[in-house]
Structure 1
Amino acid sequence: MQEMELIHLWKAYDKKLDESLQLNRQNATEITTMKVQTLLHSMKPAKLFAVIIGICWVAGLGLLLVKLFLNDYETTSLFFLYSLSLQVLITAVAIVVYIYQLSLLHNINLDEPVVLTQQKLAKIKASTLWVTRILFLQAPLWTTFYLSGRFFDNIPAGWLIFQCTITLLFTVLALWLFFNIRAENANKKWFRLLFSGNEWQPLMKAADLLTQVKDYEI
């Protein structure tokens, strides 16, 4: 009889332990999910601000470019026209990407399977890397937009060398970043320096927390 009581007590304890573990997993999942939600919400203001500023920038410069191309094309520096045109085009592409990311963030439902949320975060991560690479291609344009058609006429050799050197350096830097901003370089110091703001760190923290949630469900 004593042996049966011990077995019964052991089973009762085992059941309570399982219930306690299940409750702890549930609480951990809820707390972690709340943290993920907070991190994802923290990303929206910066992206929304970038979209608003970007639209104003593209609209303003776009109107200026239309006026210059239609009325003042012959008297306006081609360096200015085409440097500015490329800047507007690249900024417009970035705006589309940010709107796409805001749409993904808005449609994330943390009640859905974790895998689906992870897929959306992966898309945001990939598009963030891609748009950053594209935006850095603007760098050389900031060294050419102010040049005039007469820039190379009777220019001192020293100034010409300086201008060409600066443009070349910015071009090399832009191309290097374009080809090296990739997920596999995320642990490198220069990468962490570039991606230290509210567009990247909350995203990576949220992805790590979602992995924990997935482990809780196992």
Structure 2
Amino acid sequence: MMENISLTELWKAQNAKLERSLQLNLFLLNSLQKDKAKSKLDKLARFKSFAVVLGVIWGAFLGVLIYGNQFSNLYFEVSVIIIFLFNLYACIAYIRQIHFIKKLDYSDSVLNTQKKLASLQVSTINTTGVLMLQLPFYTTWFYTHEQVLHDHRFQLISFTSTFIFALIGIWLYRNIHSKNIHKKWLRSFMNVGPEYSSITEARDFLSEIEAFQSA
């Protein structure tokens, strides 16, 4: 009888030790993976901050062009104003995303953090899609009134180019959407730069915690 009690107590002690070991491993994995995710997202925030700085410089340059033209060439003026507005939209979107990254609470549950990162990915995809609409305006700011009215060669080449870029821009806008992220071409397109891929890698780090917890 005493031997059975000793075996039971030994089993309980071993089980408690194993449980403490698992909890320690989970704590270490949790800390390590969240640190990796935070590091990846901090780099992304720095990249977006640099992009905002470039956007401000580009916007200032466009502003100088708009002011200097004084509507002497309506095609140029309208094209540059529209590009300026798209640039402003991108800067505001990036600033919001940077603020979102800075507000992330890594002590929150993995599930909640994953949901927040998923919404950041959606924002990144949709912002990219909207920016595609500016493509045709990079082909119209070279237009002049005389060429548009009288230069048939110019009309053939330029109008065709603008039409093609407009179609491409509209198609990309309609297809670069979070609902299409399961498509291989879109994932490849979004992973060209660090914006989408960095979030994916951060989510993968957190997924390892989930996998360990469910094992």
SS of the residue aligned with 1:56?
Answer: helix
CA distance in 1, matches of 2:101, 2:179: 24
CA distance in 2, matches of 1:214, 1:99: 30
CA distance in 2, matches of 1:203, 1:92: 23
Q: 1:161 to 1:103 in 2, by over 3 A?
A: same
Residue 116 (structure 1) shift: 4.4
- Tell me if 1:140 matches 2:133: no
SS of the residue aligned with 2:149?
Answer: coil
Q: Is the 8 A contact 1:29 1:216 kept in 2?
A: no
Q: Is the 8 A contact 2:126 2:178 kept in 1?
A: no
Q: Which amino acid aligns with 1:99?
A: I
Q: Which residue of 2 aligns with 1:13?
A: 14
Q: Deviations along 1:89-131, whole A, 9 cap, x unmatched? A: 0100110010111111112221234344334323322221121
CA distance in 2, matches of 1:104, 1:120: 9
Q: Is the 8 A contact 1:42 1:198 kept in 2?
A: no
> 1:1-218 residue pairs with structure 2 within 5 A?
1-69=2-70, 73=71, 76-157=72-153, 159-196=154-191, 197-214=193-210
Q: Which amino acid aligns with 2:132?
A: F
Q: 1:66 to 1:152 in 2, by over 3 A?
A: closer
Residue 203 (structure 1) shift: 0.4
Residue 188 (structure 1) shift: 2.6
CA distance in 1, matches of 2:94, 2:57: 14
CA distance in 1, matches of 2:67, 2:111: 46
Q: Deviations along 1:31-76, whole A, 9 cap, x unmatched? A: 111111111112022201110011111122113313433xxx2xx2
Range that drifts further, 161-170 or 208-217: 208-217
Q: Which amino acid aligns with 1:63?
A: V
CA distance in 2, matches of 1:205, 1:94: 23
Share of identical aligned residues, percent? 31
CA distance in 2, matches of 1:210, 1:162: 51
CA distance in 1, matches of 2:68, 2:140: 20
| TM-score, structure 1 as length reference | 0.88
CA distance in 1, matches of 2:30, 2:58: 43
SS of the residue aligned with 2:164?
Answer: helix
| TM-score, structure 2 as length reference | 0.89
